[in-house]
Amino acid sequence: MKILKYLALLCAVFSSMPSFSQTKLLDSLFNELKHPANETEKAVLLNGIAAEYENEPEKMLHYARQAMDVSHRAGLKQQEANAWRNVGNANIILSKYTLALKSFTNSQQLYEALVKSDRKNNDYKNGLANVYGSIGIVCSEQNNYAKGLEYYFKALKLFQETGQEEIVAIVYNNIGDIYSTQKEYTKALDYFNKALWIQKKTGDPSSAITISNIGKIYLAKDDDEKALQSFNEAEVQFGRFENNRGLAELYNNYGNFYKKGNELQKAIAYYNKALALFEQLGEKYGAASSLSFLGSVYVKEGRTADAIANLKRSSALAEEIGVLDQVRESEKALSDIYEKMGNDAEAFRHYKKYTAAKDKIINSENIKSIVREEMNYEFERKAALAKVEQEKRQVLYDEQGKRHRQQLLFIGLSAVLVFGIAFLVYSRLQLKKRLTLQRDLAEYEQKALHLQMNPHFVFNCLGSISSFIVQNGTDQAIKYLSKFSKLMRLTLEYSKESVIPIDKEIESLQNYLELEQLRFNNMFEFEITKDPDIEDDMALPPLLLQPFVENAIIHGIVPKKMRGLITIDFKLEGEKLVCTVTDDGIGINRSKKLKEASVTVHKSMALEITRKRLEVIQAVTSRSSHVEIKEILNTIGEPAGTRIILNLPVQYANN
Reported confidence tier of residue 653, pLDDT bands at 50, 70, 90 = confident
- Give the residue, 388 or 411, on which the prediction is more confident: 411
pLDDT in tens, 195-227: 999 988 988 888 889 999 999 999 999 999 999
Residues of the chain above pLDDT 70, percent: 84
Residue 245 lies inside a defined structural domain of this protein: no
pLDDT recorded at residue 454? 52
Q: 113, 133, 163: which is the final residue of a domain?
A: 163
Q: 163, 194, 229: which is the final residue of a domain?
A: 163
Q: In which domain, by residue range, is 476 found?
A: 453-652
pLDDT recorded at residue 77? 92
pLDDT at 75 over 80: yes
Q: At what angle do helices 207-220 and 185-202 cross, to 10 degrees?
A: 160
pLDDT at 20 over 60: no
Asked which of 34-38, 302-306, 384-388 is least confident by mean pLDDT, the reply is: 384-388
pLDDT recorded at residue 455? 57
pTM of this prediction exceeds 0.75: no
pLDDT recorded at residue 538? 87
The overall average pLDDT reported for the chain is 82
**β-strand partners of 644:** 581, 629
**β-strand partners of 500:** 540
pLDDT recorded at residue 68? 92
Q: Are 291 and 303 in contact (CB under 8 A)?
A: no
Reported confidence tier of residue 4, pLDDT bands at 50, 70, 90 = very low
pLDDT recorded at residue 19? 35
**β-strand partners of 122:** none
Compute the distance between CA of residue 228 and CA of residue 260 in angstroms, rounded to an integer: 12
Compute the distance between CA of residue 253 and CA of residue 287 in angstroms, rounded to an integer: 13
Q: What is the mean pLDDT of residues 619-634?
A: 84
Cα–Cα nearest to 345, from 356, 334, 355:
334
Reported confidence tier of residue 145, pLDDT bands at 50, 70, 90 = confident
- Residue 567 Cα to chain centre, angstroms: 49
Looking at the chain, how many residues does it have? Answer: 655
Region at 472 (left for phi over 0; alpha for psi -120 to 50; beta for the rest): left
> What CATH number does the domain containing 618 carry?
3.30.565.10
Asked which of 188-192, 384-388, 527-531 is least confident by mean pLDDT, the reply is: 384-388
Helix, strand or coil for residue 476? helix
pLDDT at 2 over 50: no
pLDDT at 473 over 70: no
Residue 143 lies inside a defined structural domain of this protein: yes
Q: Are 360 and 389 in contact (CB under 8 A)?
A: no
Residue 485 lies inside a defined structural domain of this protein: yes
Number of structural domains (the chain) is 2
Cα–Cα nearest to 295, from 339, 326, 321:
326
What one-character-per-residue DSSP string does 183-222 give?
T-HHHHHHHHHHHHHHHHHHT-TTHHHHHHHHHHHHHHTT
Residue 216 lies inside a defined structural domain of this protein: no
pLDDT recorded at residue 1? 38
Q: Are 179 and 191 in contact (CB under 8 A)?
A: yes
pLDDT in tens, 526-565: 999 999 888 878 888 887 888 889 889 988 898 888 889 9
> What CATH number does the domain containing 156 carry?
1.25.40.10
Q: 596: which residues sit within 8 A by CB, 6+ positions away?
A: none
What type of residue is 31?
A: N
Q: What is the mean pLDDT of residues 381-390?
A: 62
Cα–Cα nearest to 169, from 50, 24, 6:
6
Q: 163, 188, 206: which is the final residue of a domain?
A: 163
Residue 180 lies inside a defined structural domain of this protein: no
Compute the distance between CA of residue 180 and CA of residue 546 in angstroms, rounded to an integer: 82
pLDDT in tens, 481-515: 777 787 777 777 776 677 888 988 898 899 889 88
Reported confidence tier of residue 11, pLDDT bands at 50, 70, 90 = very low
Compute the distance between CA of residue 104 and CA of residue 199 in angstroms, rounded to an integer: 28
Residue 513 lies inside a defined structural domain of this protein: yes
Reported confidence tier of residue 15, pLDDT bands at 50, 70, 90 = very low
Compute the distance between CA of residue 410 and CA of residue 1 in angstroms, rounded to an integer: 67
* 3-state SS record for 3-54: HHHHHHHHCCCCCCCCCCCHHHHHHHHHHHHHCCCCHHHHHHHHHHHHHHCC
Helix, strand or coil for residue 263? coil
pLDDT at 170 over 80: yes
